Structure 1
């Protein structure tokens, strides 16, 4: 199935200069198929059908939705292959120097949450100011600096639809790599650009695994044991990530007691919850973290720690787990973008074939059944840092669900050549044009950033700081104040 995915886009690239036509017996076998243009609901679509596999790509060019900066191209649509697997992508050209700008991809977490969250609420070309019903241009969009690719994965998330074969972070990685291979085949001008992975929340699992998988594929390509396009991975950024449950379930207890906004529990409750963590949650997680940790052991650990730690703590007061400053009944940021994406006019314009679902249950349940949440991706993250990839671990300090206590503890525990110096280094003020935005420290290719006054979706709350940190990391630099 994966080889079919690669083939269809390679075919599309090689035939893209040809008029709509059948590519018949005189064409090379991999080129046989049909490239055509169709109009649906008044919108032009480009479609390529591959004769051998029946696979297709179907996308809209310059829909006029979200990115309205003159001269900035965008493409949105589906890559479809095999047994009804249709993965949604939305690509935005860089607003500045697109022919030389690097390429970055964004993944939201969940698992099973759409990357349209990041696109419309956080770092995309448009945003909904103060809960407006229609979007306006975002001056702090990440495509101010980089060409940006947003992907809804796994299947069933966001606009993606069809059969979902993914049951874990590890099984998700090959599909994302295949999509990137397909993207490079369709848009070869981006093949050799510096490439970055940026993600949040469950991205503490996704980011390390995807980066590690890409590097393994690159190594296989270099050895000649795999045919494909090298992904020039230079940067990994994860904000408010879920990296390691052993570290981060304890952080729930400590942050609930000792955060800088409002204590949620008393000293005696803190002691009681730490005892519960030590006696029930931690032993279960250790059973999951062994080499032979089974799906059932990890699912049990996940349920145990949720029932004994996360669930009860999330109910000790009226607060939003994504922003401790907000009440639970008033989710923030506003969700007006969802209604916008579900409108028939917008769906037609961008080429969406499935009604938008922000965080559907089905993909999440598959991950839950494999115990993926309770598995640590800490060793994988360490390997990525050891490989020299510029890595930013950052967090908004008002987030509870993946709080900065756990993020900093995870950053300090990363095993690499600079670990001892990183652990002992004091944090410094992080400024944006002279204005304080947080605290940070960097040693070698690893940086840590705590962002003041930001909830789970850091770029929503502190867009200037987020864009600055993004640019510095994509430049393969340690973050620094301006």
Structure 2
């Protein structure tokens, strides 16, 4: 599990996803009270989807005048997807809209909300949250989504077995969100994600653009999503490039050598003779069995053994395997009945449950490359940033840079040839970066897997510059 890998509609119509649309031709909005909690209910006539949410729970975001909404979207029969929305702290009526997805596959986006870039954090393992002055909602209206069903607070029937089958449900959520909150429909929109988001981000962005094209030519009904930015930190994009990066990073990183030269040579031989052929078989056949076999082959030959060569945390190589940071106290907080009642949660919080992960594993999704989709997104002109904390082992920066250099677009040759240069925030160096056209790559110094936790000022600057449709630049 990597938590915290051009498809068409696959024959899934809107009615298939959300159930047949009700007979009513108008949307319905009404209030209900349940167990002392007041909910707003919105029934979307066009798709049959239903939103049920709590307004201004007072949990996490405590900035006066900043609205928040938390609750569920029904994306199908007994399919309830959890979302938590925070208005921008500055100029919410004109600020852009961004979504955050954690990875896994099968990990909750509450990780990002409470440990990384949300309005509050549990500093030093405190039992209650405090204000995060570097929250992403300083700049943008932020929407955190638990997907697929069964992850985090989402509950019900989970029919998602791959990155590709996850995308339509995320699209549905945004469509229903626009219908309930039409004031955000015209806003510029960004997707930010991490880890297995190297799969999610490219595919979700590609799928959104494909749907937008369908809306433009009249073959699909819906609201256009004005996607302008895609940001992925410490992502898992392409297994051929990134299994090799495990070996490179283990031998040569800034913090500690994990293997010797002879071990490096041995692992490289295993990679070439066993892992690459298995991944090529997955790519050529596309079959679930071939891709699942490739995942097992590469894990057993490379990732698994390398992760155990020393006592280190795969998410922060500087620390031992029992590293208590980022603090997990947020999960205890989310188990408090008074908290779950206030935010309208109807399920027991599950950070990274096994069932959704196992469905992805059964299709060999981890072994499938999303470099083609990522290239298409860059080619479309969307602002893209690939970035990585350099203390992370599991989705390390060597692999991220290799992926960035392999993206196919008009500026690829110049980008590949460009050297990394210092990236500063108010004159303080936070990493090294390079840019080309609408693509940026950044290595973040002193950061583990969850970059915004370790380097919040760097993360917020990266987020703001990317959402402003700019390549990265030092300040």
Relative to structure 1, the CA distance from residue 402 to residue 50 in structure 2 (aligned partners, 3 Å threshold; closer, same or farther) is closer
Q: Which residue of 1 aligns with 2:409?
A: 416
* Contact 1:79/1:88 (<8 A) preserved: yes
Which residue in 2 is equivalent to 1:72?
66
The change in CA–CA distance for 1:5 and 1:346 in structure 2 (over 3 A counts) is: farther
1:122 corresponds in structure 2 to 116
TM-score normalised per structure 1: 0.93
The alignment partner of 1:29 has SS state of: coil
Q: What is aligned with 1:228?
A: 222
Partner of 1:177: 171
Kindly indicate whether residue 459 of structure 2 is the aligned counterpart of residue 448 of structure 1.
Answer: no
Q: Secondary structure at the match of 1:122?
A: helix
CA contact (8 A) 1:2 1:178 kept: no
Q: Any gaps of 5 or more consecutive residues in structure 1?
A: 12-27
Superposition map of 1:63-102 within 5 A: 63-102=57-96
1:50-449 to 2 correspondence within 5 Å?
56-290=50-284, 292-449=285-442
Task: Give the distance between the partners of 1:280 and 1:146, measured in 2 at CA.
Answer: 45
Alignment of 1:3 with 2:14, yes or no, is yes
In the alignment, does 2:24 pair up with 1:29? Answer: yes
1:7 is displaced (CA, Å) by 8.5
Taking a change above 3 Å as real, the CA distance of residues 278 and 95 of structure 1, as seen in their structure-2 partners, is same
Relative to 1, partners in 2 of residues 1:406 and 1:7: Cα closer, same or farther, differing over 3 Å?
closer
Contact 2:33 2:39 (C-alpha < 8 Å) held by counterparts: yes
CA offset at residue 4 of structure 1? 4.8
CA distance in 2, matches of 1:52, 1:256: 52
- TM-score, structure 2 as length reference: 0.95
Larger Rg: 1
Distance in structure 1 (CA, Å) of the matches to 2:466 and 2:296: 36
State the Cα deviation string for residues 25-52 of structure 1 (Å, max 9, x = none): xxx83227x6432223322111245799
User: Aligned partners of 1:319 and 1:475: how far apart in 2?
Assistant: 37
Secondary structure, in 3 states, of the residue corresponding to 2:25? helix
Distance 1:53 1:108, change over 3 A: closer
Give the distance between the partners of 2:362 and 2:261, measured in 1 at CA: 35
Paired positions, count: 463
Matched position secondary structure for 1:342: coil
1:216-262: per-residue Cα shift (whole Å, max 9, x none)? Answer: 00000000111100000000000000000000000001100001100
How far apart, in 1, do the equivalents of 2:130 and 2:324 lie?
A: 21
Report the 3-state secondary structure (helix = DSSP H, G, I; strand = E; otherwise coil) of the residue aligned with 2:83.
Answer: strand
Following TM superposition, by how much is the alpha carbon of 1:54 offset from its aligned partner in structure 2, in angstroms? 7.2
Question: What is the CA-CA distance between 1:82 and the residue it aligns to?
Answer: 3.0
> 1:165-193 CA distances to partner (integer Å, 9 max, x unpaired)?
10000000000001000000000001111
Summarize the Cα distance change of 1:445–1:81 in structure 2 as closer, same or farther, 3 Å threshold: closer
In the alignment, the residues of structure 2 paired with residue 69 and residue 162 of structure 1 have an alpha-carbon distance, to the nearest angstrom, of 33
Q: Identify if the C-alpha distance between structure 1 residues 5 and 334 changes in structure 2 by more than 3 Å, giving closer, same or farther.
A: farther
Q: Which stretches in structure 2 are left out of the alignment for 5+ residues?
A: 1-11
